[in-house]
Amino acid sequence: MIVLFQVVIPIFAIILCGFLAGRLSLLSFNSTSSLNNFVYYFALPALLFFSLSTAPVDRILNVDFILANLGIIFSCFLLTILIFKFIFKKPFPEVSMYGMITTYGNTGFMGIPLLVAAFGQEAAVPAAIVTFIYDLVIITLVVGSFETANALNKKHSEQTSFWLLPGMIAKSVLLNPINASLLLGIIVAVSQVPLPESVYVFTDTLGPAAGPTALFALGLGLSGQRSVVKNKQYQLSELITLLGLKLVALPLLSILFVYVVFPIDDDLWATSVVILSALPTGAIVYVFAEKYQTLVREIPLYILATTIVSVITISVFLVVMIG
């Protein structure tokens, strides 16, 4: 119960402040984009770069940690595909989008800020590595599925897009500020290139703003989602299945992998994996839904539903993991 008051309640109180700011018209719903852009392009990259560039190399290249996360991703992604392929009769490559819904969490705008708020700056390192692994693997699986399907549906003479697949994946994964800051931080840490002290002062000053701003923006965004709730373009059975897979099955799989299959000695790193896996579906999933015109109407509701329910499930896993 002490954990609930010391960690969980303050974190969700910040989200509640954002929600109330929107409902009471203290800030407009449109302000959400501005706050998120600040986090995405400035504060969060600064936080991740500082955390990784100053981290010990042996922590960054922790093989068991990497293998555990790969096992979690592939297990849940495959389980989701099998369920939606054989039970809900969904076609390929649409099933891969369901896999993205159940495995791709809101690590950037919610997970990393939440862990830093709960455990301090040192939690940013495992959170950053998890974010990069999930981005690399899940985006590769989804882009690969849809582009392969597109290539197979065209005539042989028109299959040029298939050969552009590696470049498309690289662009989707690497050319965003979060992953770029991760890579740059890893390069600096591994190569031990000396940087001016002003760089570290700048990133260390700007980075801490990412957590509270992202959590506040999340609450503000939830305050303006009334139209999403009215959406009827979904099946209740599918929604319940996705909620169970994302918010219950994935965290339980993570517990199995980090404590049994690939035991992680550091409690903070193991806890970080579990909490990050319990996050709601990330908003980037909608970007890919629009790109491939798949589940465009349903995914906003799925994101909102997992976000609301995750308030309960994340609290439970936080209490269990550190209680």
Residue 110's CB: how many other CB atoms inside 10 A? 25
pLDDT at 120: 83
Contact 98, 246 (CB under 8 A): no
Contact 95, 88 (CB under 8 A): no
pLDDT at 156: 45
Residue 196's CB: how many other CB atoms inside 10 A? 8
Task: Report the alpha-carbon distance of residue 93 to residue 286 in Å, rounded.
Answer: 16
Chain centroid to CA 110: how far?
Answer: 8
**Domains identified in the chain, total number:** 1
> Average pLDDT of each block of 10 consecutive residues along the chain (323 residues)?
63 84 87 83 85 80 92 97 95 93 86 82 86 84 80 55 62 70 86 88 88 80 66 79 96 96 92 93 81 82 86 85 71
Run of H or E residues at 234: none
Contact 110, 43 (CB under 8 A): no
Contact 95, 81 (CB under 8 A): yes
Q: What is the CATH number of the domain that holds 35?
A: 1.20.1530
pLDDT at 225: 65
pLDDT at 310: 87
Contact 52, 185 (CB under 8 A): yes
Containing structural domain, residue 179 = 2-322
**What does the pLDDT look like over 262-309, one tens digit per residue?**
999 899 999 999 999 999 998 778 778 877 888 887 887 888 889 888
Binning the chain into helix, strand and coil, the percentages to the nearest 5 are 80, 0, 20
